[in-house]
Amino acid sequence: MKPTVDCFASKKNARFERFFDRKTNGFSKNWREEICWINGPWTKLEDIVNKVVRDRARGIMIVPTWVDRDWFKALGSIAVSWVDLPHD
């Protein structure tokens, strides 16, 4: 699965040709037709997971393993698979 859009990026750090920056506001876009690369601000993870659920988005999401958070539990219930990366 190759992402079609970087949902939280800038010209400097975009991983893919298409990206949503602060000006285009990824939250205002429909992610359903995209394969998303999601590495958003950790302060917005609850909003991001809600957006993924609402839009029935598909893609790759980078998140910390914060198992006590409600958004992490919600994400776990819809994730197809995941990989835990070592901290170092």
Domain ranges of the chain: 5-78
The Cα–Cα gap between 19 and 84 comes to 25
Q: Residues 36-49: what's their mean pLDDT?
A: 96
Short-list 57, 50, 53, 44, CA closest to 8: 44
- The single-letter DSSP state of residue 84 is P
Distance from the first to the final alpha carbon of the chain: 26
Q: What is the CA radius of gyration of the chain?
A: 13
Q: What average pLDDT is seen over the chain?
A: 94
**pLDDT above 80 for 4:** yes
- Of all residues in the chain, the percent with pLDDT exceeding 90 is 91
